[in-house]
Chains A and B, each alone.
Chain A
Amino acid sequence: MKEKVLLLKFGELFLKGKNRHDFISLLKKNILKKLKGIGCHLSETQGRLVLSDYNLGQEDEIIEKLKQVFGLIGVADAVATDAQLSDIEAEVLNCDFSGVKTFKIESKRADKTFPMTSMELDKHLGEIVLEKYPNLKVDLYTPNMIIYVEVRTNGKAYIYNRLHVCAGGLPLGSAGKGLLLLSSGIDSPVAGYMIAKRGLELEAVHFHSYPYTSVQAKEKVIELAKEISAYCGKIRLHIVSFTEIQEQIHKNCDSEYMITIMRRIMMRIAQKLAEKNGLGAIITGESLGQVASQTMQSMNVTNAVVNIPVFRPVLAFDKEDIMALARKIGTYETSILPYEDCCTVFLPKNPVIRPTLKRAEFLEGNLNIDALVQQAVDTEEILEIDTY
C-alpha cells in the first residue's frame, strides 16, 4: 500500500516537555483552519504530522498555504509505504534520477523495531541505487539529490527528495494575544509578523487624522492588515481618530515635543484598548535610532505611561533588513504607496531627540489627557480582518 502524502515537520515544539501536546493540538487546529475548504486528512505520528487524502495536483496550493502556518519548519511532498524493506527499496528506485549525477540517502529510524539502523539503511539503499544506475555516484557532502527515508512508529515509511522550508516559529495563539500599533509604513507590519511568529495572536490599532490624512491612507492600513493576517490569523483592527488630539497638542505644547507627546498618548490609548480586550502586550515597529522618536531616551519617555510589556521585534534591525522581510512577506509594495498617515502631519521642524520625562509631563499639564484618551477609545471603529 502506498500513497502520496505531505509530511509536515515542526520545530522547537519538541522542546516543550509536558506542554508539547497542547502545542501540537494548536498547530493542528491552525493547519486545518488554513486549509479550510480543501478536502484532506491530518494525522499525527511521533514527531511528524501527515496530510493525506487530498486531491492529487493540489499539493502546490497546499504547500503555499502551509508556508504561512507558524510552527511548521518544513513540508515534504512524500510517498508513504508500509515500513517493509522491499517497499522502501521499490520506492527509492522509483525516484526520478534524470539529470542527477550524485546523490545520497539520508534515513531516519524513529521506529527502533525496524531491523536495520539508519546507517545500515543508508548504505543498503545506496547500493541498490548504484546497482540500477551504475553511472551515478554517491556524494555525502554536496550531492545533486538527497533521498530522505523516514521510518516512523506508525508502521509507515516516508520517502521524499525535496523539503519546502516553512516559516518556523511557534503555533499562533500559543503565546497569548497582543496589540500591534499599525501605521501605514514598512516597519510595523513586519513587527506584527515577527511577534506572531513567536505564537502571539494580534489585534491592531491604527491612528488616523482625517482630514489631515486621506481615506486612502486608511485603506492602505486595512490592506496591510489583510496581508499580515494571512500569517497572523484573524486581526481585529481598531481604527482610532487622532485628529483632535493632534490639534490639541499642536495648540498647547512645544512643537519639538509634538511627537513625543503624540506617542505617549498613543501608548495610553493602546494600553486602554489592551485592557478592554484582554491583550497582554503592546507591539510596535520601532527600530532603535531610526528617527527622533525612536531613540532610547524617546522610548523611555513613551514607555513610562504604560505598565504592560512593550515588544519591539525590529528594534535591532537595520532598515534594509526590515525592508527585505517586508518584501518576503508581501507587505512592502503596499507600505510604499504614497499616502501619508497620522505621524506625518503637524511635523515639527526639529523634533527633540533626547526628550526628558519631566518636560513631557510638564507639557502634558496643558492637556486634558484622560478625556482625550477616553474620547478616542469611545469613538473607535472596529474592523474584523481575516485572510488566514
Chain B
Amino acid sequence: MIYLDNASTTKMFNECADVHKTFSCNEYFNPSAMSAKSVEVSRHLAEAEKYILSRLGAKEGNIIFTGCATESNNLAIRGSLRTGDYEYVFSAGEHPSVENVAKRLQLEGYKVHFVPLDKEYGYVDLEKLKEVLSEKTRLISIMHVSNETGAINDLAAISKLKMQICPNAILHVDGVQGFMKIPINLRSTAIDLYSFSGHKIHGPKGIAGLYVKNKAALKPLFEGGGQQFGLRSGTENVSGIMQLKKAVELIDENKNLEKVKSLKLLFHTSFLKDALDAGLKINDFEGSPYITNLVFTGVKGETMLHALETEGVIVGLGSACSSKKAGNRVLENIGMRRECIISSVRISFNAYMSEDEVKTAAEIISKVYLDIKKRVS
C-alpha cells in the first residue's frame, strides 16, 4: 500500500506507542494529585509544554492541550468572543472546524467577515483583508496552510497588517497543516493563538494543542476542576501529551521540508505522458510541498479514489471532514469550475516515504486513469 493521504492523518511513530505504555501503565498518576509521583508527572507535562513552545519559536505564552484541533479552534474563537461592537474576520478557505464556528457566530448575531482567497494561488487576498480590518476587529482567524490546496498564508504580512490597523485584535492561526511541516517562528509574528494536532505529525489521535500568548485574554469553553489555568478543565491526557512531545522531538521540519519538496517534484515528473495527454492535470498551488491536487478530466475524483485503492494507492478527496458532501467549497472559492472540482483528488505526502513509492504511485495513478478514462468514454 502506498499512502498518499497524509493530510487527513499519518501513521504514528512506533516510539509514541512506547511512550504511551510508559505513561499509561507505569507513570499513570494524576498530575493534579498530591503524591510525589503526581508531581513527577506534572513536571513531565511542564517540560513537554516548554519543549513545544521552544519548537514553535515562542518567547512567551503557554500551550493548552486539547482533544483535537477542532476543539483548539473552537476554544480559540469562542474563547475570544466579547460583547460590544466588535467584528470577527475569517478567511474564506478555512477548515470546517473554523468556518462552521464562524457561521454559527453569524447566526448568533456577531458581525463576521469572510475574506476571499487569491484566485490563482489560493491564499487569503491581503488587499481584501486590509479592507475589512478596522479598530473594531476583535479576532482574525486565518489558517497557516490550506488543507485543501496546500496554499500557505503569509503570516508575516498578516501580522504586519494587524499591527498597523488593529493592534488590539487577537490573531488566531489554525496551524494544523503547517505544524512541524512549514517552519514557523512565532516570536517574529503577531500570532496570539496557534492550533495544532498530534495525528497529522505522526503522533496519536486524540491529542492536540493551542498556543496561547496571553492566557488572561482567553475564556474557557467549559468549567471544571480548573486544570490548565482553568482554560481546559479535565484531567490532562498525560500519555497523549507525552506522545505528542515525542513526535515533535523526532521531527526535523527543515530537513523534512527539503525531502518532501524533492518527493513532490519527483511525483509531478513521473506521470506517464499518455495520461497527461488524456487529461491528467497537476493543479499545484505552489504552497506546501506536502499537498498537491490532481485533476482527472472526465472522471470523478471519487471513482479514481476507489479504483486507486484497488491498486494499493490511497489518496484523499479534499478535507476528510467535508469530502462526504458534494462539491468542495474551498476549491469553489478559488474559482475552480465544478467539473474540475468533482474530478480532483488531493495527494498528500509525508517525509518518511521513499522515492520509489512516490514514483510507483505516479505510474499507477497514470495507468488507472487511462484505464478508467477508456471505460467511461
- Chain A residues at the B interface, C-beta cutoff of 8 Å: 210-215, 247, 250, 338-340, 345-346
Contact = CB atoms under 8 A, between A and B. Distances in A.
Given A211-B306, A211-B307, A214-B306, A338 B324 contact: yes
A215 B305 CA distance: 11
Nearest to B372: A211
8 contacts: A210-B306, A211-B303, A211-B305, A212-B303, A247-B375, A250-B376, A339-B324, A345-B303
A255 to B, nearest CB: 12
B310 A211 contact: yes
B284 interface: no
Nearest to A243: B375
A5 to B, nearest CB: 49
Contacts of B305: 211
A211 B372 CA distance: 9
B273 interface: no
Contacts of B372: 211
A340 B325 CA distance: 11
A212 B309 CA distance: 12
Contacts of B304: 211
A370 to B, nearest CB: 22
Interface string B289-306: 000000000001011111
Please report whether the interface of chain B is mostly helix, strand, loop or mixed according to DSSP.
helix
B300 A212 contact: yes
A213 B309 CA distance: 13
Interface in B353-377: 372, 375-376
Contacts of A339: 324
Contacts of B324: 338-339
B36 interface: no
B34 interface: no
Contacts of B307: 211
Nearest to B376: A250
B326 interface: yes
A340 B324 CA distance: 10
A139 B304 CA distance: 70
A247 B326 contact: no
B239 to A, nearest CB: 32
Contacts of B310: 210-211
A195 B303 CA distance: 35
A333 to B, nearest CB: 15
B326 A338 contact: yes
A376 B326 CA distance: 30
B49 to A, nearest CB: 40
A338 B304 CA distance: 18
A58 to B, nearest CB: 38
Contact of B302 (A214, A247, A250, A346): A214
A223 to B, nearest CB: 15
A339 to B, nearest CB: 8
B29 to A, nearest CB: 42
A215 B326 CA distance: 17
Contact of B325 (A213, A247, A338): A338
Contacts of A338: 324-326
Interface string B19-54: 000000000000000000000000000000000000
Contacts of B325: 338
Q: Which of B300, B324, B375 has the largest number of chain A CB atoms within 10 A?
A: B375
A86 B375 CA distance: 82
A210 B302 CA distance: 10
A211 B325 CA distance: 18
A214 B326 CA distance: 14
A247 B373 CA distance: 11
A339 B303 CA distance: 12
Nearest to A244: B375
Given A211-B309, A211-B310, 9 more contacts: A210-B310, A211-B307, A212-B306, A213-B306, A214-B302, A215-B306, A338-B326, A339-B324, A346-B376
Q: Which 5 residue pairs spanning A and B have beta carbons closest together?
A: A211-B306, A211-B307, A247-B375, A212-B303, A338-B324
Contacts of B300: 212, 345
Interface in B331-356: none
A210 B305 CA distance: 11
Contacts of A247: 375-376
Nearest to B325: A338
A245 to B, nearest CB: 12
A247 B375 CA distance: 6
Contacts of B306: 210-215
A210 B306 CA distance: 7
A214 B309 CA distance: 11
A90 to B, nearest CB: 56
Nearest to B323: A338
A243 to B, nearest CB: 9
B187 to A, nearest CB: 44
Contacts of B303: 211-212, 345
Nearest to B326: A338
A210 to B, nearest CB: 6
A215 B304 CA distance: 13
A252 to B, nearest CB: 13
Contacts of A214: 302, 306
A213 B325 CA distance: 15
Interface in B248-278: none
A247 B303 CA distance: 13
A215 B307 CA distance: 11
Contacts of A250: 376
Q: Which of A211, A213, A340 has the largest number of chain B CB atoms within 10 A?
A: A211
A219 to B, nearest CB: 13
A355 B304 CA distance: 33
B301 to A, nearest CB: 11
A87 B309 CA distance: 72
Interface string B308-332: 0110000000000000111000000
Nearest to A210: B306
A250 B298 CA distance: 14
A340 B300 CA distance: 12
